[in-house]
Amino acid sequence: MLIINDDHLRRVDVCSLDELCPSCHKPLREYPLLLSDEAEPSVYHVACALQLATEILVDLFTFFCPPAPFERLFVFTVEPSQPFPQSGGSDAINRY
Ligand SMILES: [Zn+2]
């Protein structure tokens, strides 16, 4: 959630802009800010939230597409000896 004024800040139970950003540990000081949707929500500077999101995306990309000489840890395949289930099978999601 984007926080752009004092009313938004009060709604997320942050009392003042003097509270610290959990990422950089500096006072929030000015808008805009971002509220995380974690189990225990926190308010971040927009730049800090973007940096965290970018780091997560880079880590995920590196995990699924590691640079040489490393190989992927997981390769998703379908075993040819097993017949495909009927459309959707017993799952609620249609697999085709
Ligand atoms: Zn910060």
Q: How far is the CA of 56 from the centre of ligand 1 (A)?
A: 16
SS3 assignment, position 9: helix
pTM: 0.66
Q: What is the pLDDT of residue 40?
A: 85
How do residues 6-43 score in pLDDT, each as one tens digit? 999 888 888 889 999 999 999 999 999 999 988 888 99
Ligand 1 centroid to Cα of residue 49, in Å, is 8
What would the mean pLDDT of 52-78 be, rounded to a whole number? 87
Query: In the predicted model, is pLDDT for residue 90 greater than 70?
Result: no
